[in-house]
Amino acid sequence: MTKQIFGAAFGRRAFMSGAAALAASAALWPKAMRAQAADRNFAAALGWTTYDSGRHLQDGFTAAVAELGGNLTTTDAGFDARVQSDQIDSLVASRPDALFITPADAVAIAPAVQRAIAAGIPVFCADSAVPGATVTTTSMSNNFGMGVHSCEFICKAIGGTGKIARVMLPQNESWDQRTLGMEWVLRSYPGVEIVTEWAFALAGNVTPRQAVDNILTSNPDIDAVWCAWDGAAVEGTLAARAAGRDDLILTGIDGGSQAFNYIASDTPLKLSMAQSFYEMAYSNVFYAHEALAGRKAPRLLITPTYAVVKDMLQAGIPDDYDVPGRGAELGWTRAV
């Protein structure tokens, strides 16, 4: 377990004006509350810190604690639900004032989350809801809406008729909502046919790259591949290039510099539903302070998602788009 205690010095992302605007409300707190906030001990059981999503979540927690006050202890489960459950139990034993969680597998860690709540620890989740656990606040994207928007993009791009494949992410209820959103859209496009599909398994032996390789070998005439997350879309883009299918259309969900670079470079990856991971984490910390100060916190907070295409990246690849307020500065508007 790695312990990180953040004081006055913190990264450049914390200086962004959008984050400062959200944190500004803390300046209105009575001095006694601000003094108490500085002494609060927080813990974060992170399901992962890899990829752009994990990095942005970690950055959001780090900057928010640095700005709003307190100390932060973090753990990283590396996508292993058993490890994360053990880490949650260990963090609970240290009696933090609040516990932040980004679920590696929301169903699998639900018992550990319930134990934390039963121990009297306020729990705040980012990215995914934990079924059966009454946490204080969950900050996440509209997963169903992201599935709707990305599938609509494909259906329009192929003229409402064609063959598509899909790569799904059924690991938890939140992520599976993306597939349900995709299916909802297809009800309005009877000319679009799903000819094959593949569901990713964390413990499986097949990578998304291998899956899309197989899809293109078996179905060389498909028009598009809908992917439930950007990792699959990026690997699928590599498969498309290897197969000489530069005309293929791929979409993903997550956002971040890797996907943005592929989109900006005229590859088959044409769209990323860019989630506000940084804001999810930042809002968790903000509302932990609010709840601990005796004020209300929302049960569910839906953070912005941007439908990022090439035209939005002409001025460069923004790594800070999900800092609160930064999307507006870029001229982006939330899609869902």
Model pLDDT for residues 73-121, shown as the tens digit of each residue: 999 999 999 999 999 999 999 999 999 999 999 999 999 999 999 999 9
Identify the band that residue 201 occupies on the pLDDT scale cut at 50, 70 and 90. confident
Residue 125 near residue 148 (C-beta atoms within 8 A): no
The predicted pLDDT at position 9 comes to 34
pTM above 0.85, yes or no: yes
The predicted pLDDT at position 202 comes to 74
Helices (H), the chain: 17-23, 31-38, 51-68, 81-93, 106-118, 143-157, 173-186, 208-218, 230-242, 257-264, 277-292, 326-329
Model pLDDT for residues 132-144, shown as the tens digit of each residue: 999 999 999 999 9
Query: How far apart, in whole angstroms, are the C-alpha atoms of residue 190 and residue 202?
Result: 32
Residue 287 near residue 280 (C-beta atoms within 8 A): no
- The residue extents of the domains of the chain are 2-140+276-303, 143-274
**CATH fold of the domain at 143-274:** Rossmann fold (3.40.50)
Is the domain covering 2-140+276-303 a CATH 3.40.50.300 domain? no
Identify the band that residue 173 occupies on the pLDDT scale cut at 50, 70 and 90. confident
The predicted pLDDT at position 16 comes to 45
Do domains 2-140+276-303 and 143-274 share one topology? The answer is yes
Model pLDDT for residues 246-303, shown as the tens digit of each residue: 999 999 999 999 999 999 999 999 999 999 999 999 999 999 999 999 999 999 999 9
The pLDDT > 70 percentage for the chain reads: 89
Q: Is the pLDDT of residue 151 over 80?
A: yes
